[in-house]
Amino acid sequence: MTLDNIKEEIMSAKNIAILTHESPDGDAVGSALAMYNALKQLGKDVDLIMPEYPSIFAFLPSAKEIKETGKEDSYDLAIAVDCSDLKRIAGDTNFENANTTISIDHHGVNTMFADYNFVNPAIPACAQILITVLEYIGVQITKDIGTCIVAGIITDTGGFKYQGVTSETFEFVARLLNEGVNVSDVYKRVFQTITKTSFELKKLAMNRMEFLENGKITYTYITEEDKNNIGSQNGDHEGIVELGRDVEGVEVSIFIRQEKDGYKVSLRSNNYVNVSDIALLFGGGGHPRASGFTMNLPLDEAKERIISKVKMYL
Ligand code: AMP
Ligand code: MN
Ligand code: MN
């Protein structure tokens, strides 16, 4: 069984790298930090490698230990969390060069790229899967580990409100509450409070929002110039794509943000459009109701191409 292999590999490894996807969200950062704290508890030599992450997660236990780059030598073991494919791992060379690799994830489109893959698309957050994995390998889920896990669950479930949340999610969170995790504080920090610059970015994106196809599609965008003018930080765009999705009658929300290396597209849907299928057409991936991909075209062209595809799925 995969969990036995995972346990065996973790137990026998001396030095371990933990990695997650580029542009890490709360589930990525929370899962990676939960794994970091757990492996430290087991006395391992661990590097958590993340070139950048949103500052709102800096309060999570051991966030100060996050390294921007890994070491040159290969690791005994590399563990990727919340990552659906190899090319999306930030610092993928550390992953590929490791002697053994493990992937723990919840994306239905996961390509099973590691030596051992523990993937369950039915679970709403990778951090929730980690509870099962960590307990299996004999880690005690402490308040610190639980805080990281709750951050992942809250962000990936939209604050416990998405489909996919089950009684097990609440049972796990109830147990974490009993461990002393301050769920309401984590909720406020990772889900409710936004930076001033994020607010400014949201205002801009909202003003620009277009309603298409009788209000079934919304579209908005943010450029590098906008971000520079506002002085925004990593992660300030979080929540913009949901603004469109949450309007009555909307099925698909499209949000494009310019990054240094191209346009990053986020798609969200409400009831029936499988946006993961649409993202796959453009070389990306995700979940049925939340997906993303990157595009290297002029903005207008990217917009037109995406909208024409989305229309076909309405
Ligand atoms: P985002 O819109 O960036 O919040 O991403 C929504 C979902 O799609 C998340 O589950 C991501 O992991 C996934 N996703 C975003 N971009 C990509 C990509 N380029 N390739 C594969 N999956 C992606
Ligand atoms: Mn993620
Ligand atoms: Mn996730």
In a shared domain, residues 307 and 179:
no
303 and 284 housed in the same domain: yes
| Residue that is last in its domain, among 165, 191, 217 | 191
Residue 110 is predicted with a pLDDT of: 97
Same domain, 176 and 260: no
Tokens standing for 165? 């949340």
Condensed to tens digits (0 to 9), the pLDDT of residues 136-161 reads 999 999 999 999 999 999 999 999 99
The predicted pLDDT at position 151 comes to 98
Cα 108 to middle of ligand 1, angstroms: 12
Residue 146 sits in the same domain as residue 259:
no
Ion ligand 2: residues, CB < 5 A = 25, 27-28, 82
First-residue to last-residue Cα distance in the chain:
41
Task: Tell me if 9 sits within 8 A of 102, measured CB to CB.
Answer: yes
**Which CATH number characterizes residue 248's domain?**
3.10.310.30
Same domain membership, residue 120 and residue 250: no
Which of 149, 167, 191 delimits the end of a domain? Answer: 191
Calculate helix-pair angle for 26-41, 143-156, nearest 10 degrees.
160
- Which pLDDT tens digit goes with each residue over 39-74? 999 999 999 999 999 999 999 999 999 999 999 899
CA of 81 to the centre of ligand 3 (A): 8
Q: What is the CATH number of the domain that holds 170?
A: 3.90.1640.10
pLDDT, position 72 = 87
- Supply the range of the domain harboring residue 9: 2-191
Which SS3 state, helix, strand or coil, does residue 286 take? strand
Q: What is the mean pLDDT of residues 219-246?
A: 97
Residue 236: band (very low, low, confident or very high) from pLDDT cuts 50, 70, 90 = very high
The minimum-distance atom of ligand 1 relative to the CA of 291 is 8
Q: How far apart are the CA of 106 and the centre of ligand 3, in A?
A: 6
**pLDDT at res. 92:** 84
Same domain, 18 and 120: yes
- Give the Å distance between the CA of 138 and the centre of ligand 1: 31
Mark whether 156 and 253 lie in a shared domain. no
Report the domain count for the chain.
Answer: 2
| 201 and 307 assigned to the same domain | yes
Residues with CB in 5 Å of ion ligand 3:
27, 82, 126, 156
CB < 8 Å & 24+ apart, contacts of 99-104? 99/74, 99/75, 100/9, 100/13, 100/76, 101/77, 102/6, 102/9, 102/10, 102/77, 102/78, 103/79, 104/6, 104/31, 104/35, 104/79, 104/80, 104/129, 104/130, 104/133
Given pLDDT bands bounded at 50, 70 and 90, which one contains residue 246? Answer: very high
Quick one: 66 and 31 in the same domain? yes
Regarding whether 61 and 20 lie in a shared domain, the answer is yes
Query: Is residue 299 over pLDDT 90?
Result: yes
Q: What is the pLDDT of residue 292?
A: 97
Same domain (yes/no): 213, 255? yes
Q: Give the percent of the chain with pLDDT over 70.
A: 100
Nearest to 73 by CA among 49, 92, 98: 98
The number of the ligand 1 atom at minimal distance from the alpha carbon of 255 is 2
* Same domain? 230 vs 149: no
Q: Model confidence over 248-291: pLDDT tens digits?
A: 999 999 999 999 989 999 999 999 999 999 999 999 999 999 99
- Domain boundary (167, 191, 215) is at 191
Q: What's the whole-number average pLDDT of the chain?
A: 97
Average pLDDT over residues 292-311: 97
CA of 269, nearest ligand number:
1
Query: What predicted TM-score, i.e. pTM, was given to this entire model?
Result: 0.95
pLDDT tens-digit readout, 76-114? 999 999 999 999 999 889 999 999 999 999 999 999 999
